[in-house]
Chain A
Amino acid sequence: MAEKKLFAAIDVGSFEISMKIFEIGAKGPKQLDHVRHRLALGSDSYNTRKISYEHMEELFRILKEFGQIMKGYNVTEYRAYGTSAFREAENTSLLLDQILNRSGIKLTVLSNSEQRFLDYKAIASNGERFQKGINGGAAIVDIGGGSIQISLFDKGQLAATQSLKLGVLRINERLRKMQPKITQLEEVLDEMIGSQLRVFKKMYMKDRTIERIILMDDYLSPVIMRQTKKDDDISLEDFLAVCGKFREMGKEEMADLLETPEENVNLLRISAAIIKRIMPEINAKLLWVPRAALCDGIVYEYLEEKKLGPAMRDFEQDIISSARALSKRYMGSRKRGEALEYLAISIFDGMSGIHGMNERHRLLLRLATILHDCGKFINMTNVGDCSYGIIMNTEIIGLSHTEREMLAYIVKFNHDDFEYYDELSAHTRFDENSYMIIAKLTAILRIANALDKSQKQKVKELKVSMHDDRLVLLLETGDDLLFEQERFSARADFFKEIFGLKPQIKRV
């Protein structure tokens, strides 16, 4: 019997723990089971910064049961991710260890941007409908328990993404303390989220048209899905009419009408109020609710990695385009960035047999070239530190926290002195492997940077060849390279120190 692979995706969210079981076939994943259990881990961590003992016990039990369910389907591989409740708890690392010991499930905590990237992959897995959805300009509004992520798409590409600490559970916790009446709810919410939205608008919405909001959440989406045909948009007017009805209804009545559990009603109201507030703010006329959840993103990530099934979209391009948008925001020179990218990537690819790095590291190098001078916007004499600060404080969707930090250091060390392991590990949590990658990419970036030090893009073509202990860079240029050569020599030593190869320039 040709056995199909069975895969489980587990999402330990801030309000609910869910697991989807997928059968992986030639046509992609087929969902077989979806188990959800309500457990408000987030209410602990948002309030006390710790996940309580009681909730942990419950979590162990559920995850253990999930393990049983997986066994029932003969699941061979799984991925289990924790999100904001774990990110915000102070006792996370202890908990992860206990989870593994008590339930046998290995849980990994996603950074916000990783989580949102998986959400985005889940949405993008809708294929053509997704493409249609973003073509006229779109904003993915991903409402989580702890935060909302708004990702803007311009001309089919990811242009910007921003996280706002306005998750439904977080807002609900605050409202619980305030106890507003139903009639006051919208105004209170408006005050809570309005100011952040206005800033967002000023920062990102200039010269952009956003036709459609793509909603991803746990409460409003199922209700809208039930009331619209698959893949249909709902107009702003229709959405507002629905919200108008909510305003007049009691909790029980609303639960009945929407066929949703009563305990979801408050969270649903908050989600609806957020969308109601965002749509007019960014001038969106349509709302689309794709059938997607984090678990769907997890399985697509797995498929992508294992190269099972066709690629849905070039997600790397999204990461790059959002880095470009970031560079643009800080007045980075696109031309310079592109030249640097060409030089650095040519060197990286030319050394592919010996550097021991992978595609993901190549992506980091590309991003480093794009963001190499973003700090100039703040201070031209302290570019390294300022670039580091910008990168560390800006979300680049698709990068894990570690990757972002690595990127920030690569860019910083391009300008400032390199810190050796003992020094760097004193104030970071990099392991030796990550440290080596930082060093290698810094070395490449530095010599690529030297080759365009005058910022005149003098090198028209670069070929790389290796001879024993030398890395020969064959340059085609009609210009004088005196300045570049001087900078190159100064940086060659560091390169040699890292790779054991002495870089040399040869003109063709």
Chain B
Amino acid sequence: MDFNDHEYFTNREISWVHFNGRVLSEAEDAELPLFERLKFLSITSSNLDEFFMVRVASLKDMVHADYTKKDIAGLKPSEQLKLLYGVLHEFVDRQYLCYKNLRDECAKEKLILIEKHENMTPEQAEYADRYFISDVYPVLTPMAVDSSRPFPLIKNKSLNICALLIKKGKEKEKHQEFATVQVPSVLPRFVKLPSEEGTVVIRLEEVIERNISRLFSNYDILCSSPFRIMRNADLTIEEEEAEDLLKEIEKQIRKRQWGEAIRLEVEEGIDKRLLKTLKKELNVTDDDIYYINGPLDLTFLMKIYGLEGFDKYKIKALTPREVPGLPAGCDVFEAIRGGDILLHHPYQSFTPVVDFIEQAARDKDVLAIKQTLYRVSGNSPIVKALAEAAENGKQVTVLVELKARFDEENNIVWAKMLEQAGCHVIYGLVGLKTHCKIALVVRREDDGIRRYVHLGTGNYNDATAKLYTDMGLLTCSEAIGEDATAVFNMLSGYSEPLAWNKLSLAPLWLKKRLLKLIRRERDNALAGRQSSIRAKMNSLCDPDVIAALYEASSVGVEIRLMVRGICCLKPGIEGVSDRIRVYSIVGDYLEHARIFIFDNDGDPELFLSSADWMPRNLERRVEIMFPVEDPALKSRVMHVMDEQFADNVKKHELLPTGEYVKPKVPENERFSCQNSFMLEAAMMEKKKKSRESRVWRKKS
């Protein structure tokens, strides 16, 4: 049987839109606090921007290059684009329907989002005008287009206002001029207006539009309208030619502003003449134009979320709990020597990871620190600690992945700073993105050199560690230490070791190992032994892995998958995937951990990984899969997976039709795994504290 038949796969772009739909369904969920819903709606908007800049752009590139290779679902790039246009336009309509509902809900709670400047009261209008003159006007650069001045370059993702002008005293059609002005991104997107009842805000573009005539004093304004463009940002770096990757990426970032326009957002009802000019000058097709019935660029809702005085409409901020065995201020190394330590973020604090590096930086017995950095937070304490370690004379090797999409600029800054501090900074392997998260500390101790390793499923980013659910392992296992050393040797350009002890690395062996593990379950099922697979990841779209899962399912392996984002696997196909069930959790925290459990005839093997089951992760990135072998930690991870599958609040199930559905459960049966993990982390911390206090009492 051919498990690679296109029929059995879903197009990844469509699957992504479904994923963004699940995020949107959170915004639509009336059970959720109002401001959380605004936040989710804002996320769908920034998600969509990235999707356009990368995925849609890439499909367009393929179409331009007459590339006709079919995707996993048997669709040519042009067919995918066609399909996407329909789905995306529908999606945007759904977004704005949701926006309107939320805006009305906000109004009920005394937060007025004024849509049009005409709707302001005279006092508010006066305030807005004053604000315009004092704060906005000085930073505006209006640009007119005529025969001597070409159409200006409109920056990617920027919001602009275009207008049609006519010189005062002239009324003829031929004297019309086109002008644009960028809504300055340095100013807040909305202006708080004076009001006696609640909070009233208006968006900056409305304030500018109201005052646009002040920009063109010798002209009459015939019409004006905001617009926004999205450009192709997926510019591939010619690495082989790039002698210095750092310089090349700096160059690419500059270019990204000016890639081909791939999406034009305009307000519904925009003047036809304005639209005609935009269409012509930006060279976009009708399919690329989105008529928006509401404000352009909903990401401003994230700023609304940050407004003070609305805490009751938000969920309470999570307090990351202390990790049992790693109390604040403890000796991290001593704690790790006591046994492997599992970290579950954001429910448990990321501080131990920061402490691990910070203590290493200051510990006189530490000889070397090696770490990969993919996306770090602004002002990252880890980066500071690494620099401090180098200044303290430790050998510090940092692999900074410059190619972390949209974070390049940030990464270059850190890389330079680390180099200046004396760290040995490596920029990764040509052709491969280093996505694995690993830190190694080499320490000289009484009984010799000992290596401490942190392996994680998420980035070394203390900010996102409060929002992403991830897992990490702190260990001083010799086998893992040896492998970790080999990983850094490889990343520094040395050869692969003759054998790996515990780690599986992509792009070398991880995929092969995964396929072997899946096939072992298949063989166990065929031989009548116990078999099952449970896996959690962000995306599943590797055709070989999916085909292997189909084959396993077809011979009786029960497969449960928790795929947050894209899933190209179709469950429930008779004889192919009827034993596979696929779920997705979209919740308050971004599900990010990758956990794979293989039953292995009743002796389960459990792995954590930085890799999704996607070709890019398995074939074009440096990724790590590592086992959790300590029985107690293993059962904790198993428990985490049990709870994930038991969720009935945030869990959607993928149906054979491609739709995702959420179960309806009575109030008293509702179970949210994220809430449960929060409570469990609190309990673990409390239990540990009460144990400590007993000890203290006994001593005293």
Contacts and interface: CB of A to CB of B under 8 A. Distances in A.
Interface of A: 1-4, 6, 16, 23, 25, 30, 32-38, 65, 68, 71-74, 222, 225-226, 256, 259, 261
Given A3-B444, A72-B367, A72-B368, A32 B495 contact: no
Given A6-B449, A32-B485, A68-B424, 14 more contacts: A1-B444, A1-B446, A23-B448, A34-B489, A36-B494, A37-B494, A38-B495, A65-B492, A71-B395, A72-B368, A222-B498, A225-B498, A226-B499, A259-B509
Contacts of A225: 498-499
B498 A256 contact: no
A34 B509 contact: no
B339 interface: no
Given A4-B448, A32-B449, A72-B395, A37 B499 contact: no
B440 to A, nearest CB: 11
B451 to A, nearest CB: 8
Interface residues on B, range: 20 to 34
Given A23-B449, A72-B442, A256 B512 contact: yes
B338 interface: no
B496 interface: yes
Nearest to B394: A72
A34 B486 contact: yes
A330 B499 CA distance: 46
B496 A261 contact: yes
B493 interface: yes
Contacts of A259: 509, 512
Contact of B485 (A33, A37, A222, A261): A33
B449 A37 contact: no
Going nearest first, the 7 A-B pairs with the smallest beta carbon separation are: A72-B395, A36-B495, A222-B498, A72-B368, A35-B494, A35-B489, A23-B448
Interface of B: 365, 367-368, 395, 424, 442, 444-446, 448-449, 485-486, 489, 492-499, 509, 512
A34 B492 CA distance: 13
Given A33-B489, A72-B367, A72-B368, A261 B495 contact: yes
Contacts of A226: 499
Nearest to A21: B449
6 contacts: A1-B444, A25-B448, A72-B368, A73-B449, A222-B499, A225-B499
Nearest to A27: B448
Contacts of B446: 1-2
A35 B495 CA distance: 7
Nearest to A256: B512
A71 B497 CA distance: 21
A1 B448 CA distance: 10
Contacts of B497: 34, 36
A32 B442 CA distance: 10
A225 B424 CA distance: 35
A71 B422 CA distance: 14
A34 B495 CA distance: 10
Contacts of A4: 448-449
Contact of A37 (B367, B444, B448, B493): B493
Contacts of A37: 493-495
Nearest to A222: B498
Contacts, number: 56
A4 B486 CA distance: 22
B395 A68 contact: yes
Contact of B367 (A1, A35, A68, A73): A73
Contacts of A72: 367-368, 395, 442
Contacts of A68: 395, 424
Contacts of A16: 495
A73 B443 CA distance: 9
B512 A74 contact: no
B243 to A, nearest CB: 16
Contacts of B489: 33-36
Contacts of B367: 72-74
A191 B490 CA distance: 38
A33 B365 CA distance: 18
A38 B448 CA distance: 30
A507 to B, nearest CB: 61
Contacts of A6: 449
A89 B442 CA distance: 39
Nearest to A72: B395
A3 to B, nearest CB: 7
Most B C-beta atoms less than 10 A away, residue of A35, A68, A222, A259? A35
B590 to A, nearest CB: 35
Nearest to B424: A68
A36 B391 CA distance: 28
Most A C-beta atoms less than 10 A away, residue of B444, B448, B493, B512? B448
Contacts of B485: 32-33
B386 to A, nearest CB: 14
B472 to A, nearest CB: 24
Contacts of A256: 512
Most B C-beta atoms less than 10 A away, residue of A2, A34, A225? A34
A410 B489 CA distance: 49
A439 B395 CA distance: 51
A340 B380 CA distance: 77
Contacts of B395: 68, 71-72
B604 to A, nearest CB: 24
A74 B444 contact: yes
Given A3-B444, A32-B485, A73 B494 contact: no
Nearest to A18: B495
Contacts of A261: 495-496
Contacts of A65: 492
A23 B447 CA distance: 10
Contacts of B445: 1
Contacts of B444: 1, 3, 74
A235 B595 CA distance: 41
A6 B442 CA distance: 13
B448 A30 contact: yes
B498 to A, nearest CB: 4
Nearest to B485: A33
Contacts of A71: 395
Contacts of B498: 34, 222, 225
Contacts of B365: 1
B4 to A, nearest CB: 18
Nearest to B497: A34
A259 B512 CA distance: 9
A73 B495 contact: no
A16 B444 CA distance: 29
A23 B489 CA distance: 18
Nearest to A65: B492
A146 to B, nearest CB: 20
Contacts of B512: 256, 259
Contacts of A36: 489, 494-495, 497
Contacts of A33: 485, 489
Contacts of B496: 261
Nearest to A263: B495
A84 B498 CA distance: 22
Contacts of A222: 498-499
B693 to A, nearest CB: 35
Nearest to A16: B495
B512 to A, nearest CB: 7
Contacts of B499: 222, 225-226
B637 to A, nearest CB: 27
Contacts of B442: 72-73
A20 to B, nearest CB: 11
Contacts of B509: 259
A448 to B, nearest CB: 49
A71 B394 CA distance: 10
B476 to A, nearest CB: 13
Nearest to B397: A72
B310 to A, nearest CB: 52
A275 B162 CA distance: 78
Contacts of B368: 72-73
Contacts of B493: 37
